[in-house]
Chains A and B, each alone.
Chain A
């Protein structure tokens, strides 16, 4: 079965760092475009970051310079390294296959909650 499962969320103070993980099964992370999408409380979905199969990375302006997307091919796992966290980064973070101008987000994980608060 093709699926992704996120982990690593939690409560973190403003200015702190956190690393989210996304374990994939049924397909290879290294051969696919992989994305992070978030949903802040009461808000809609916001694309956050994308890594191409070739390794190129892209970020939303709201996280550029603070977040880094990466992957470990041996573990078939995608990561999102989040630094200098702010209150407005509070959201459920979803991992999804796809998300480039060439393909759609499918499948998605169930998400992991990140809360930035003192």
Chain B
């Protein structure tokens, strides 16, 4: 089954403790991207990747890192999480980053205390 898999679904952590949210797709998509969703602010793009070893900042990249060492995986790294990073995170992929439908993961709800 074609899918984008995010893990974990829920995560509660403390300020400053490094964490990684994983994202994997099995559709051989070139494009992958991370978003956060906050009440009143909607969805905002954090980082995106047009292909392996090609990543770019979205609108809200501060406090986040990504890597794209292989096509199927695009992990989101929070080196030193802070409470303002408490949010609902979505990963998405598409065949290309140009004109292709998006496929979203199920989301990761992160709470930083």
Q: Is B a genuine binding partner of A?
A: no
Chain B residues with CB under 8 Å of chain A are none
Chain A residues with CB under 8 Å of chain B are none
